[in-house]
Structure 1
């Protein structure tokens, strides 16, 4: 990522998830003016959190009743 942002392969980047997370404050991405790093809050909108809450509730209800969960992790 750093290389692409430095050599004009990419104009800019907005990152919500990094590895490792959080990035060390000394990481070179923090020095790039064309890179914005969010603290993993890209989904923090009312609309997104409402959908996530409904999905979690459906998973619990369906799981407790023995039905298939809409977002089951296997």
Structure 2
């Protein structure tokens, strides 16, 4: 199975997220919610500075969660 990226899950089947760890699922949810808010603010012409900051923070948290998951998968505990 391929690893998801911080850009999204568009290339994966719908049920692939069922196997993800809970911290990755939560980070994906938060980034999607922040992305929806950012699109709403831009569509309405509002100042999106705070929402853009939240989106960037959610994307960074997702990247960290994916890195931790990849580290756990490639470096399993020995004992």
* Higher Cα radius of gyration: 1
Structure 1 length normalisation: TM-score? 0.36
Structure with bigger strand share is: 1
- Bigger relative CO (Cα 8 Å, ≥ 6 apart): 2
Structure 2 length normalisation: TM-score? 0.34
Structure with bigger helix share is: 2
